[in-house]
Amino acid sequence: ALFIGLLPLSLYFFNGVSLAGLVLNLIAIPLLAFIIMPLLLVVAILSSILDMSLIVSLFDPVLYFLYQQLMAIPPGWRWFNVGTITLDIVMFSYVTMLLLYLVKFKWLACIPLSVLLVDSYFTSKSDWQVNIFDVGHGLMVLLEKDNNALIYDFGPSYFNRFSRTRSILLPYIKANNLNVATAILSHQDNDHAGGVKHFIEAGFESTLSAFHPNGIPSLCKTMTMDFYGLKIQTFSSITFNNNNDDSCVVKISSAQHSVLFTGDISKQREHALIAAGYNLASNVLISPHHGSGTSSSSEFIAAVNPKVVVHSSAYKGQWHFPNDEVVARFNKIGAAQYITGQQGQIRIKFYSTNLHVETARECESYWFIKD
């Protein structure tokens, strides 16, 4: 009863459930309550008059053997990951349980589940989406298409321990059961590449090979590839010999929408891209260099002509990004602007005819943590 009753909450808060836990608890709880605890009491009493070390040493190998057998259970049985569960599903699950328990006509319990299924069927699903994570001063982006993920940059890491990849990116991938197919590193600065080491340690090194065949220290490969129906295009760099302007600039497009990732390029690289005749037009732009005044020239903004601009910058950061003049230039073309340091994680969902922007702080919660 406890397992069933807590199941919706377990799925909601932890994105999964321990299948082995049901069987183990059915054994462990009676064992603990009726055997181990009474025996501990006996040992505690007798140990005041007898040396119990010999008796304890006899039980210890047995308990250790049982522990080893538990650890031999395949991870898939120890924990089953189901991905993200919405609060609606949790609420409707408990309404169904209450109807099954309290109502005479059990078929009435089918009503909430039917409503949930109908709602799920008629609710439009996005074709793909882009998540810009709130990582303070830095950049970390995850694109999702048909449960497949593309990563662009890995956020900062401090003292090689406080890694945004470990605390945000990897848990998000696991919670949503995503298949990481491709990863791109814009350049080597810590606020973009700090977590790449931890990404590789997590077993995703092969995902970097398509755009970094010569290793991540080298410039990304200039190429065009298909990503489950989306077009990924990288633009060549004439080697400016500085990390920022040599950033990997990536455009991801569907038939109706496109997103431009720009790393930390300055006006110098922006003008080079325009002069090369690249089609930079995109309805979503991740602003160059976090909204720095060294970037986002009027000519570049005109070439991209974005409808939505996201500045990935820290809350009250020391560089005060995005720059006021940059914000004014985007305002001049009527672009909607979002700042991760103020709105938190930003998710852009792309539909066949439109796009929708969601932010973590839509409710303006005072308690939402800010970097």
Give the pairing type, strands 336-339 and 258-261. unpaired
Question: CB–CB of 175/143 below 8 Å?
Answer: no
pLDDT attached to residue 142:
98
Give CA–CA dist 263/186, Å, rounded: 6
Q: Comparing C-alpha atoms, which of 163, 139, 165 is closest to residue 152? A: 139
Q: What is the pLDDT of residue 168?
A: 95
> How many Cβ atoms from other residues are within 10 Å of residue 351's Cβ?
15
Which one of 1.10.3720.10, 3.60.15.10, 3.40.50.1820, 3.40.50.2000 gives the CATH number of domain 128-359?
A: 3.60.15.10
- Name which of 290, 359, 357 is nearest 326 in CA terms: 290
At residue 371, the pLDDT reads 38
| 18-69 pLDDT, tens digit each | 877 787 788 888 888 898 899 888 888 888 888 888 877 888 888 889 888 8
CA distance 163 to 167: 6
DSSP-derived letter for residue 251 is E
Indicate the helix (H) or strand (E) that contains 45. helix 37-46
At residue 70, the pLDDT reads 78
Nearest to 154 by CA among 176, 179, 173: 173
The residue count of the chain comes to: 371
Q: Where are the domains of the chain?
A: 19-78, 89-120, 128-359
With beta carbons less than 8 A apart as the criterion, state whether 328 and 321 touch. no
Mean pLDDT for each consecutive 10-residue tract of the chain (371 residues)? Answer: 89 85 81 87 86 82 85 77 84 92 89 87 91 96 97 91 92 92 97 96 97 92 97 88 93 97 97 96 98 98 98 93 97 98 96 94 54 38
Tokens read off for 26: 């059915």
pLDDT, residue 363, reads: 53
The per-residue pLDDT for 195 is 96
Is-above-0.85 flag for pTM? Answer: no
